[in-house]
Chain A
Amino acid sequence: MSLLWPDLGLAELQSGQLRPGFLMRLGTTPPTRIWCGIGGLTIAADAIELDAPNIYQGVGELLSLPAVSQLINGLAERIEYQLSGDVVTAEVAALARSDADAIRSASVFLGFLIFDRDWQIVSPTTWLWEGIADSLSDTWDGTSGEIQRSISLSVGSVMTGRKRPINSYCTDADQKRRSADDDFFDQINKYEAGATRAWPV
């Protein structure tokens, strides 16, 4: 059994013809569910989709699927989901009209499942990546002669908001900030490169 994929669907993965389905679930109220294919898609309940059945909408809204990384050791990344295009669907339009706070900090899950040759789901949904939504941006590009519109959703991984500590120094002032009555570094300003202190005096 594969460590990553369940047994179901392995035969399709090993074949020369693969029928994948990529899903994106945005934790707004109500949740926004879209997938890369055409038409509606119902998936089974799991740890992410607790209340099945839930229908994922698909009319080619996912214009691009960003590359995601397996993040370890506190690494963080930010990805851009490009949604919609010239056609703004009801789901994406509702998302764009939502309060910024409703989108910001909403959970984002990227999932993957496999269809068989009759386009029936043969694998459970594998949720590959989890992130936190930040903001929606709307761009219009007319440089190619016709207007191309896209709506992008910026999503950061869980560690994106991690703070880095500021630098600290071995000076009396810095030590006093850490411990107000500690004089350990109060003579440090008398030292300079090349200085010699005889001891014992």
Chain B
Amino acid sequence: MLTFPSFLFKPTSIRARLVGAGASGGRSMANVEQISEASGGGLWSITLGEMDLWERTELMPWRAMEAALDNGGAPIIVPIGDRLHAPLISPAPAVLAFPDDAIWDDTALSFTPVEVDATLSADAALRATTIDFDCAAPPVPLIGGEYFAVLHPVQGWRLYLIIRLTDNGGGNYTAQVRPPLREAMTSGDALNFEAPRLICHLDGDPDTVLELLKFGKGGPISFRETFPNLSA
């Protein structure tokens, strides 16, 4: 599977936000405005900042990845890479197997927890926004605002953000999440807090200066959440 190797390209910034479809009917004479949001929860948009591609081992994979994206026609797994704020012992990337330094990574389609073992403690329906999960002794206490990803059987890797967290004690938590679950989940499903990621496609043209010199600059580059399997 085509993946974006964050630790190889080292983007200067990573921004993930939910893009909705807000509309307004205008402001009344009393300056009152009604906002309408018809997206059903929004779609993830990921923007990665400028990257210095100094070495051949960095520039060549970027060139290959850019072509492999097929102008947005190919899906790509994009890791969020929010390691400074993830509940990990250390933000250093050495402890994780993913993301690898290759743009083709078959291990990206699986996940084995190393430091944060979190699993769903109760079934959750499609489009649920409240979930219960167990996470015994995370290295850093969970406080809300954490990203996590779920590998759904049909929809693949989907990214979620905890907007409100309740510690029920005994390692059990209740979390309100956004966006609503893309697929129903069952008790025992794993939540990936260590290396959250999602399936995207290229959004627009990347601003890339790759000349036939020793080095170049890649990005910024934007991705948007995509749904390769749309019939489930």
Enumerate chain A interface residues (CB-CB to B < 8 A). 15-22, 35-42, 55, 57-60, 86, 89-91, 115, 118-120
Enumerate chain B interface residues (CB-CB to A < 8 A). 21, 32-43, 72, 125-127, 129-130, 155, 176, 179-180, 182-183, 227, 230-232
Structural contact, A38 and B34, CB atoms closer than 8 A = no
Can you name 18 A-B residue pairings with CB atoms under 8 Å? A16-B33, A19-B38, A36-B21, A37-B38, A37-B39, A38-B39, A38-B179, A39-B127, A39-B155, A39-B179, A39-B227, A40-B182, A42-B125, A59-B227, A90-B230, A91-B230, A91-B231, A118-B176
Checking A15, A36, A42 against B127 with a beta-carbon cut-off of 8 angstroms, the contacting residue is: A42
In this complex, what residue of B is CB-closest to A20?
B38
Nearest 9 A/B pairs, CB to CB: A37-B40, A18-B36, A90-B231, A118-B129, A119-B180, A89-B230, A39-B182, A90-B230, A38-B40
Checking B40, B179, B182 against A36 with a beta-carbon cut-off of 8 angstroms, the contacting residue is: B40
Checking A35, A55, A91, A118 against B40 with a beta-carbon cut-off of 8 angstroms, the contacting residue is: A35
Instruction: Name the distance in Å between B163's Cβ and chain A's nearest Cβ.
Output: 10
Interfacial chain A residues near B126, Cβ < 8 Å: 39-42, 55
Given the complex of chains A and B, what is the CA–CA distance between A59 and B231 in angstroms? 11
Structural contact, B41 and A39, CB atoms closer than 8 A = yes
Interfacial chain A residues near B127, Cβ < 8 Å: 39-42, 119-120
Structural contact, B38 and A22, CB atoms closer than 8 A = yes
